[in-house]
């Protein structure tokens, strides 16, 4: 599995969690606040990891 494959997988997870937040963060389907806070923290963490993968891919591309 390449770094790009891992990044693509992370982006899918981020999208799924973001969709969950949009659907369950407010309104009729709102989940408890602690669930939304946990999900937002996970999305933030996954974005940081994805950024690390992007930088690593860029460095490997520049070194090639």
The C-alpha atoms of residue 13 and residue 44 are separated, in whole angstroms, by 12
Per the CB < 8 A criterion, the answer to whether 24 and 17 are in contact is no
Report the domain count for the chain: 1
Radius of gyration of the chain (CA): 15
Q: What is the pLDDT of residues 36-51, one digit of tens each?
A: 999 999 999 999 999 9
Among candidates 58, 50, 54, which has minimal Cα distance to 18?
50
Domain extent, residue 22, equals 3-63
At residue 64 the predicted structure's pLDDT band, cuts being 50, 70 and 90, is: low
């Amino acid at each position: 599995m390449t770094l790009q494959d891992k990044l693509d997988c992370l982006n899918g997870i981020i999208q799924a969690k973001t969709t969950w937040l949009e659907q369950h963060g407010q309104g009729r389907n709102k989940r408890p606040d602690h669930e939304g806070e946990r999900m937002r923290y996970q999305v933030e963490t996954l974005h940081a990891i994805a950024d690390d993968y992007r930088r690593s891919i860029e460095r490997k591309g520049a070194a090639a």
